[in-house]
Copies of this chain bind each other. A is one copy, B any other.
Amino acid sequence: MGAVKTKRMPRAVREQQMLDAAVRTFGQRGYMAASMDEIAELAGVSKPLVYLYLNSKEDLFTACIRREAKALTEAVRAGARPGLPADRQLWSGLAAFFTHTARHPDGWAVLHLQARTHGEVFAAEVAAMRTEIVAFVTQLILEAAREAHRDPDLPEREVSGLAEALVGAAEALADWANATPGVTARQSAATLMNFAWAGLGNLMEGRHWTPPDDEAGVGAGEAQTGRTSPVR
């Protein structure tokens, strides 16, 4: 790419090219091993220009995390379709999540592996995104429970726990799907739906799985939330 053409390209466009190159390099090589030389070369610019625009390797990495976090959050929000029945909403949200992580494996590696492995500052960036997604999922589950069950007797605390479990399961499954050749986004979403839906669906109808009472040594003393009808 010639110097003249380089100068004509708007800064915003060039920055996105640098971020594209950086996400790919950080995602595939890891944060430590990735070099600014490699990123500059892949972006088709000089290394000083990368430093001029994005200041340092740390700042470049932070910019990557923020861009990828925003893209993922927007994809999930766009995927969930208010007005659909609860199972369809969950399905379309999960499908959007796994479609995004499958299409952007380097972005997902930056968010879920690299950012969490290389210090508290980067980890905090990702934690902020995760908190937002958990809050969004909590809201979805609460609304669905209210819909299904006029008297919403799923305690808010349990809904928070369910949202954490669902997000944790989705994260783990996305890692696994991206590391396992041939697993499609649709298969990952269907696996999690199969894993989760009947459980959540039954909960929303007020049907809980009831733990046996004759267990020893299981955080004894604290009563369960008191549903009686077993799921199966």
Contacts and interface: CB of A to CB of B under 8 A. Distances in A.
A172 B165 contact: yes
A100 B10 CA distance: 56
Nearest to A211: B190
Nearest to A201: B232
B224 A187 contact: yes
Interface size bracket, A side:
35 or more
Contacts of A199: 194-199
Interface string A193-207: 111111111110000
A192 B176 contact: no
Contact of A164 (B123, B176, B215): B176
A217 B165 contact: no
Nearest to A185: B219
Among A30, A102, A183, A190, the one with the most B-chain Cβ atoms within 10 Å of its Cβ is A190
Contacts of A198: 198-199, 201-202, 209, 231-232
A161 interface: yes
A57 to B, nearest CB: 16
Nearest to A95: B218
Contacts of A171: 168, 172
29 contacts: A32-B120, A87-B209, A88-B212, A95-B218, A99-B217, A102-B219, A116-B117, A117-B119, A117-B120, A157-B180, A157-B183, A160-B180, A161-B183, A161-B191, A162-B191, A165-B170, A165-B195, A165-B196, A168-B169, A168-B171, A169-B172, A185-B219, A186-B224, A187-B219, A190-B225, A194-B208, A194-B209, A194-B231, A197-B199
